[in-house]
């Protein structure tokens, strides 16, 4: 009998407690009511969508911020896709625009043109004057869509369909490693599988040393002291950079190109802290660099 009474009492207590709102449910109710006020205070320039990844966030594919309705990088950060949104996530001027570096005592062998688009917008072109050197000839062939090391069976590499882009150590870097060459080759010919005869191009060591300067001024195109290597890597100096391990191979030729370079160098990028994930220096919005040709002078 007593056991039966204890059971009835327990059931009655459980029923009474079910009528009392729990603290967690109450807190959620308050949060849901407060959410519109927070959203209303968000600036008009922040939008959920194209440019959600905050500076320092290594994973660009996980869109938790967008799912929660949080503006890019916080309540006062700008949309990374906006043209005036710079590296620190605020609205402001791009990096300081320097004058073209000039040729010094060098002469030009030709001019390459690189078309630039950022977040789907056509931003103009970089006009790059190239010296007469082995490193410059690699760049010229990439711009013309026909780079292939002498005596090699490699498939010609090209930047006519786009080059890999990142910002690192004061340089806007362009490259095309073996994997990127393979993907570009399949896209060029509409292939789902890479043919067996495909062989990525790899630049040999530079045949001549064009002189290593202590400093490279803004607008200088350079490559590593050992040459472009397996990644076919070149870099444009956004500001004055240490040139001891770089070989200059060309320069930007006009004020319009220098202004575009300054803009590219101020794009929001994934933080250097993401290096272990292999994404450091990658722009948060898509930047496409396409070579539209090379002409000799």
How is 49-93 classified by DSSP, letter by letter? Answer: STT-PPTT---SS--HHHHHTPPTTSTTPPPTTSTTB-TTSSB--
Instruction: Show the tokens assigned to 277.
Output: 């994930």
The DSSP element (H or E) to which 293 belongs, if any, is: strand 287-296
Q: What is the pLDDT of residue 271?
A: 66
Q: Are strands 164-168 and 121-131 parallel, antiparallel or unpaired?
A: unpaired
d(CA 237, CA 272): 18
CA-based angle 178:285:191, to the nearest 5? Answer: 40
Residues of the chain with CATH 2.40.100.10: 108-296
DSSP code per residue over 163-217: BEEEEETTEEEEE--HHHHHHHHHHHHT-SS--TT---------SS-----SEE-
Q: With DSSP H G I counted as helix, E B as strand and the rest as coil, what are the percentages for the chain, rounded to 5? A: 30, 25, 50
According to CATH, the superfamily of the domain at 108-296 is: Cyclophilin-like (2.40.100.10)
Instruction: Show the tokens assigned to 149.
Output: 């090391």
**How does pLDDT run along the chain (297 residues), one tens digit per residue?**
445 445 445 544 544 444 443 333 323 222 322 333 333 333 333 333 344 444 434 344 454 444 444 444 455 567 778 888 877 666 666 678 999 999 988 899 999 999 999 999 999 999 999 999 999 999 999 999 999 998 899 999 999 989 999 998 899 999 999 999 999 899 888 999 999 999 999 999 887 656 667 899 999 999 998 899 999 999 999 999 998 889 999 999 999 999 999 999 988 877 655 544 546 788 888 999 999 999 998
């Amino acid at each position: 009998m007593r056991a039966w009474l204890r059971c009835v009492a327990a059931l009655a207590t459980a029923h009474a407690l079910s009528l009392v709102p729990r603290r967690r449910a109450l807190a959620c109710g308050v949060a849901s009511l407060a959410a519109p006020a927070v959203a209303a205070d968000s600036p008009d320039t922040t939008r959920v969508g194209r440019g959600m990844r905050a500076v320092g966030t290594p994973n660009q594919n996980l869109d938790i911020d967008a799912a929660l309705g949080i503006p890019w990088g916080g309540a006062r950060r700008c949309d990374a896709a906006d043209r005036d949104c710079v590296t620190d996530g605020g609205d402001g001027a791009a990096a300081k625009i320097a004058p073209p570096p000039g040729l010094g005592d060098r002469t030009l062998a030709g001019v390459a043109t690189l078309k630039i688009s950022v977040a789907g917008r056509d931003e103009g072109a970089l006009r790059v004057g190239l010296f007469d050197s082995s490193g410059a000839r690699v760049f010229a062939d990439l711009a013309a869509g026909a780079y292939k090391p002498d005596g090699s069976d490699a498939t010609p590499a090209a930047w006519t369909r786009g080059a890999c882009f990142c910002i690192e150590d004061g340089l806007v870097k362009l490259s095309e490693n073996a994997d990127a060459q393979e993907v570009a080759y399949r896209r060029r010919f509409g292939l789902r599988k890479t043919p067996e005869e495909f062989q990525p191009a790899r630049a040999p060591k530079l045949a001549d040393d064009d002189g290593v300067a202590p400093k490279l001024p803004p607008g200088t195109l350079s490559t590593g002291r050992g040459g472009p290597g397996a990644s076919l890597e070149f870099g444009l100096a956004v500001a004055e950079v240490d040139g001891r391990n770089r070989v200059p191979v060309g320069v930007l030729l006009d004020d319009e190109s220098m202004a575009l370079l300054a803009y590219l160098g101020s794009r929001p990028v994934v933080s250097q802290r993401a290096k272990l994930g292999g994404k450091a220096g990658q722009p948060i919005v898509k930047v496409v660099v396409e070579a539209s040709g090379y002409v000799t002078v």
